[in-house]
Amino acid sequence: MTIRRIVAPAVIVTVSAIVVSPAAPVAAQHQAAATARPCPTVEAPSRPAGMPSPPPVDPTNGAVGGTALGTAGLVVPADTPKAPAVTATSWVVADLASGRVLGGCGPHQHRTPASVQKLLLAAALLPRLDPTKVVEVTREDLDDLDPASSLMGVVAGGRYTVKELWLGLLLQSGNDAANVLARIGGGSAGREGGVQVMNEEARRLRANQTHAVTPSGLDGTGQYTSAYDLALIARATFARDDFRRYIATRTAHLPSGPGRSALALTGDETLLGTYPGMLGGKTGFTDLARQTYVGVAERDGRRLAVTLLGAETAPLGSLGEAAALLNWGFALAPDDAVGHLVAPEQAKKDKDKRVVVAGDDKAGAGAGSGSLVPVAVGTVAALLTVLVGVLAGWRRAGRRVAG
């Protein structure tokens, strides 16, 4: 086994070469030695007092994707261009196609997500919800939302397709859309059930530093993620054709309908159309999280994701810092890496695929909250019926032979 040396401030540690995951191959012979040191930072004009104190990182979780990633500082391949200085307190640049992690700052450190958590909602519920299904918004979906927060603009009693809600979630960062999607995706458990599905999806993706409390990313006690986990989540979402279509949409016009007015949705400024090869991105901001961002760009056959947390509006803002980190990533050789994105738990994924919300153009809110498992239940019932018939036939045949 090849032995690599990881250089940290004032200490030299010898570690084994990164283990290669079948779904995230990293050519060990091209693996550059990585150097861990303090992250290059730009001093922010001001940071608010009372920032949250994140829980410590479990050493086992900190080693996910490679031991070099278990640092609170900078980890980059040796003898590569200098990483840009940013205000973000943690970040990762990864190649989604190969699974190589090109570099990062505190990759596994707990941070507050803000609206980039909506990508976890998409990863969890896109496979479960029929986009043609029509659902009715309830008063409870909206009661706990600040009217000044990011909203799609749905109204109680209005009826919207799931596809329209996804567009509102990803274009307008609609917290109202997040609440509705989580409710219908949570089945009889409602919104809380949807959040539970999000956390189950995080575990399936092996995003061990992620715990959702709200579906929208609005702050909640005990809600955290990490830059590495967001790269895993981005890999899952950008692998889906439907997600890529939604996230690449610039504008959408939703016609008026029963109990609702027409809505004009315009995508947040996420580098789409301004950064070369940008496939789409998601911004976030709360007072606690500061600026957060996840974006993916494709160039020369490489699909790179950048995830950053805890950025400030000046001097570059999250978008400027994301562009600088992507430029740095594309400047590296394709084989440069300090770790890899781990593969999800396949067995649980296969199980989840069997749980699908059937489309129903006449369905309202009640149908949405109670129809998570009818397809699976019906399938099981049909199989049991066939089995009973087969066993009865065997018994009759046995009697005839015995007689």
Reply yes or no on whether 173 is catalytic.
yes
What sign for the dihedral angle of Cα 12, 16, 17, 22?
negative
Is 115 tagged catalytic? yes
Is residue 142 within 8 A of residue 176, CB to CB? The reply is yes
Cβ–Cβ < 8 Å for 201, 232: no
Query: Residue 197 corresponds to which tokens in the numbers above?
Result: 């599905």
Question: Which listed residue (90, 98, 173, 216) is catalytic?
Answer: 173
Given the residues 98, 118, 318, 369, select the one marked as catalytic.
118
Residue 318 known to be catalytic: no
Alpha-carbon distance of 265 to 174, in angstroms, equals 10
The whole-angstrom distance between residue 366's C-alpha and the CA centroid of its chain comes to 28
Is there a binding annotation on residue 282? Answer: yes
Looking at residue 57, the DSSP 8-state letter turns out to be P
Beta bridge partners of 135: 160
Helix (DSSP H) and strand (DSSP E) numbers for the chain = 12, 14
Name the packing angle between helices 190-204 and 175-185 (round to 10°): 90
| E strand map for 217-301 | 251-254, 263-266, 278-286, 290-299
Cα 248 from Cα 212, distance rounded (Å): 25
Does the N-terminal peptide bond of residue 315 adopt cis geometry, omega within 30 degrees of 0?
yes
CA-to-CA distance for 235 and 95, rounded, in angstroms?
9
Asked if 96 and 331 touch (Cβ cutoff 8 Å), the reply is no
Closest CA to 310 of 326, 341, 286: 286
**How far separated are the first and last CA of the chain, in Å rounded?**
69
Annotated binding site for substrate: 282
Residue list, annotated binding site: 282
Write out the catalytic residue numbers.
Answer: 115, 118, 173
